[in-house]
Amino acid sequence: MRRPRLGRIAIMAAALVGSGVFGLTAERSSAQPALAYPEKTVRIVVPFPAGGATDILARLVAERLSGDFGRPVVVENVSGAAGATGTAVGAKAAADGHTLLMATGTATTLLPHLRSDLPYDSLRDLVAVTLIASFPNLLVVRPGIPAQDVAALIALLRATPGKLSYASSGFGASPHLSAEWFKRLTKTEILHVPYTGSGPALPALLGGHVDMMFDTLPSVLPLVQEGKLRALGVTTAGRVPFLPDIPAIAETLPEFDVMSWLGIMVPAGTSAAVRARIAAPLAKFVREGAIVKRMQELGAVASPIVTPQEFDAWIRRDYEKWRRVVQETGIRIGK
């Protein structure tokens, strides 16, 4: 007797399942489609003018991502308001991964505590991708100051309250906040003499018109190396890898940890898959010897933090730290 046609089909199907053919077909049908990103030119918004360290590093990032993506990645400089103008442009862009922001610590985790009129909420409107680099500040004194280390400087300041002065490169900037936090932790009185940038501040320090200063490495390190200023400490929690002989201020003041930083962020709502796609080549980028060396030339330390999750947690810690510093020092600018 002939088997019914349906029975023969069932037998064939069972054989195919046993051979794995159906399993392969099912695997293919359930596979996720490849991520269609990027689909067009990607731009990196840099919230400062061309030519500075932020811009230089952004262009290196753009070159790397362009090669990895197979699409053009261009830099767009949108400067103004200490980085707030460009940050707002990046924060309000479409959340599709085609606009990246070279975020700065000043505009992302510091300014929100100094100003109430920012056109963005950095924790609500932006999400993390990769931290690129950090920029330590350096505490320097003029040669006439007898203190040879941070502990001796603190002792001198306590013995002569209000007699010594410090220059800053601008009110509310990282070097200014470094000095104010130092004053707060050491319970000392130091006269603040603000200038409109490092350009006019450094000659005042070299000329003996002020006694000390916190400033970025590129500005003051050459003067230290020439013996015109004395370096007492870097402002990061640990020593800078390429300046191992200069102590961290935190070795004397454990709570002291101040730095500027740069990292790639994108508008909130950008998918985790797109963020991971951007972060993957950058994780390799920040570890390459040539890039680490170029950052060192700019006074920057290449980041050990490369995943979006790590960077997000880092941003939130930095945000909370500056909230505390601003609250305890009482500094406020703008509205």
Is the separation of the CB atoms in 137 and 243 below 8 Å? no
The domain spans of the chain are 42-135+260-329, 136-251
Is the separation of the CB atoms in 215 and 175 below 8 Å? yes
pLDDT along the chain (335 residues), means of 10: 43 41 41 78 96 94 97 96 94 98 95 92 97 95 97 98 94 86 95 91 96 93 96 95 96 93 97 97 96 94 91 95 88 66
pLDDT at 79: 92
Is the separation of the CB atoms in 108 and 127 below 8 Å? no
10 Å Cβ neighbour count for 86? 25
| 252: DSSP letter | T
Task: Give phi and psi for 296, each to the nearest 5.
Answer: -60, -40
At CA 122, angle to CA 120 and CA 127, rounded to 5? 125
Exposure class string for 102-115: b at 16+ Cβ within 10 A, else e: bbbbbbbbbbbbbb
- The CATH topology of domain 136-251 is D-Maltodextrin-Binding Protein; domain 2 (3.40.190)
Q: Which residues pair with 168 in a beta bridge?
A: 194
DSSP string, 264-330: EEEETT--HHHHHHHHHHHHHHTT-HHHHHHHHHTT-EE-S--SHHHHHHHHHHHHHHHHHHHHHHT
Strands (DSSP E) along the chain, which ranges?
42-46, 73-77, 99-104, 126-141, 165-168, 191-194, 212-216, 230-234, 259-267, 301-302
pLDDT at 332: 72
* Domain 42-135+260-329 falls under CATH 2.40.10.220: no
Q: What is the pTM of this model?
A: 0.84
Judge if 42-135+260-329 and 136-251 fold alike in CATH terms. yes
pLDDT at 218: 87
Q: Is-cis flag, bond preceding 38, omega within 30?
A: yes
pLDDT at 334: 57
Task: Give phi and psi for 191, each to the nearest 5.
Answer: -75, 130
What are 279's two structure tokens? 């972060």
pLDDT at 173: 79
Separation CA 217–CA 142 (nearest Å) = 16
pLDDT at 29: 40
- pLDDT tens readout for residues 272-322: 999 999 999 999 999 999 999 999 999 999 998 889 999 999 999 999 999
